[in-house]
Structure 1
Amino acid sequence: MPLGRGWVLAGLGAGVLGIVGGVASGMVNAVYDPAASGDAVAITEKLATQVPQIIAFHTATMLSCVLLVLFAVGLHRQLRARTAPDSLVPGTAVAGLGLVAVAQLIGAGLTTEFAFALTEDAGLVVPESAVFFNHWIGTIPWLWGGAGLTGLALFRAARQGAYASWLGWTSLVLGGLSALFLISPLQYMAGMTGPLWLVVASLGLLRTARED
């Protein structure tokens, strides 16, 4: 039965929203402000002025999470049809994206707790907790390293003739970088390469979805 293109468009949306969420979380920068460095109270007060950015981050990240799951399911089904019955590629691909979805879900999980408290009265928030929260959303949602495993899986599939070679090599480069970040102390750097790979891969997969 044809899959259509909905799942691929979901992947494209997840990648774009992943980039938007990353930009928004980067704008929540109270904890990185040199003027407030080491001063938990000052950091909390500045964080209270950045609630719109926090909400933008939360919304984009959670929408990306939902769309990523839809894309993962569609990709898994297509890979099963295009690779050998005993291939590890489909399972690896969906597992990698699952890791990203979990990181997004957990990464945005504290935003409601802090956003509403900061909006009502910054004094309701323990300053040290606010500092931790700012560090949390500046790292955990950026853990896109699992997408590197999916990129490498697509490279393997392309080598077997399942996809165009350019898609395979692109997945090797961006997926490989994301996978390297996954095992390094700079895991959050994958938040730059992972969403970019997803956008490029989704654009390439639109053609294969039409062929199916």
Structure 2
Amino acid sequence: MSRTLPSAVLAVSDTEATAAVSRSWAALGIVAGFASLASVFLSMMLSPEYVAGSVMTTEVMNRHYLDRQPFMIAFHVVTVVSAFALVVFGAGLQRRLRASLQASSLLPQVAFAGVVLVAVSQIMGTALDTEFLFGTSDTAINLPGDIGLYSHWIATLPWVWAGAGLAGLALGAAGRSRAIPVWLSIVGWVLGGLTALLALSPLQYMAAGPGALWLLVTAFGFTLGDRAHRREFLRV
């Protein structure tokens, strides 16, 4: 017995079908995943080492960041790249889900919103870069104690991946309608659920680990797999 395609699929024109099978958006998800991991790694490198019993003075922190300006630039670039790529990935994910789910489903919008929330966190994580890259030792721009704020800023905001948990759970729910491959649905439930639980807890920054892993696995899945969906659109 042949399966009846959702009305949203039947309404797709030839031009839309060609766009629907494009995997560029998913490939950008891979870019976003690796760039976000690089962002987290660089933020850890930029954070001063806290030694028990020592006193972290403003002078020590200023010298620390002055010596690491190339890493500050790299952190800024990869984090913004991640944010840009995340928005495109989110838009493509929304279109992919919309093509396979009923028109009334909220899951495409929820998945898109979750990915965009992560992108916003990434952009906000770079919001003070220029201020401290060029004004670390200039007291006319920054007060002596401000460098401590910057240190905490870049070590927290890029790690806020709560939105990825929301997007992963949306993909998990989409799998109940067979809108995506079953294994991607399972990945959404497991990694998305873990990311959401960590985000809900006081250990919220740990959500960056499973969140970025969910992004990479999902992006690779849609880039290299998802053949059944592409074949459906080629037959329409």
TM-score w.r.t. the length of structure 2 is 0.83
Aligned match of 1:150 in 139, 148, 167? 167
Structure 2 counterpart of 1:91: 109
> Could you give the per-residue CA deviations for residues 52-86 of structure 1, whole angstroms, max 9, x where no partner exists?
22111111000000011011111111111111111
State how far apart, in whole Å, the 2-side matches of 1:157 and 1:173 are.
14
TM-score w.r.t. the length of structure 1 is 0.92
- Once the two structures are overlaid, the 10-residue window that deviates more, 42-51 or 85-94, is 42-51
Aligned match of 1:43 in 20, 43, 61? 61
Larger fraction in helix? 1
Aligned match of 2:126 in 100, 108, 111? 108
Structure 2 counterpart of 1:171: 188
Query: In the alignment, is the contact (CA less than 8 A) between 1:142 and 1:190 conserved in 2?
Result: yes
CA deviation after TM superposition for structure 1 residue 127, in Å: 2.9
Structure 1's unaligned 5+ residue stretches are: none
State how far apart, in whole Å, the 1-side matches of 2:104 and 2:55 are.
54
Query: In the alignment, is the contact (CA less than 8 A) between 1:10 and 1:70 conserved in 2?
Result: yes
The equivalences for 1:48-127 within 5 A come to 48-118=66-136, 121=137, 125-127=142-144
CA deviation after TM superposition for structure 1 residue 29, in Å: 1.6
Secondary structure of 1:34's aligned partner: coil
**Runs of 4+ off more than 6 Å:** none
State how far apart, in whole Å, the 2-side matches of 1:37 and 1:77 are.
52
State how far apart, in whole Å, the 2-side matches of 1:16 and 1:64 are.
8
CA deviation after TM superposition for structure 1 residue 123, in Å: 5.7
Query: In the alignment, is the contact (CA less than 8 A) between 1:48 and 1:122 conserved in 2?
Result: no
State the one-letter code of the partner of 1:29: S
Query: In the alignment, is the contact (CA less than 8 A) between 1:44 and 1:131 conserved in 2?
Result: no
State the one-letter code of the partner of 1:144: W
Q: Percent identity?
A: 39
Secondary structure of 1:85's aligned partner: coil
Query: In the alignment, is the contact (CA less than 8 A) between 1:44 and 1:122 conserved in 2?
Result: no
CA RMSD for the aligned pairs? 1.7
CA deviation after TM superposition for structure 1 residue 185, in Å: 1.6
State the one-letter code of the partner of 1:179: A
User: Rg larger in 1 or in 2?
Assistant: 2
CA deviation after TM superposition for structure 1 residue 171, in Å: 1.5
Change (3 A) 1:29 1:122: farther
Structure 1 counterpart of 2:214: 197
Change (3 A) 1:37 1:189: farther
CA deviation after TM superposition for structure 1 residue 41, in Å: 2.3
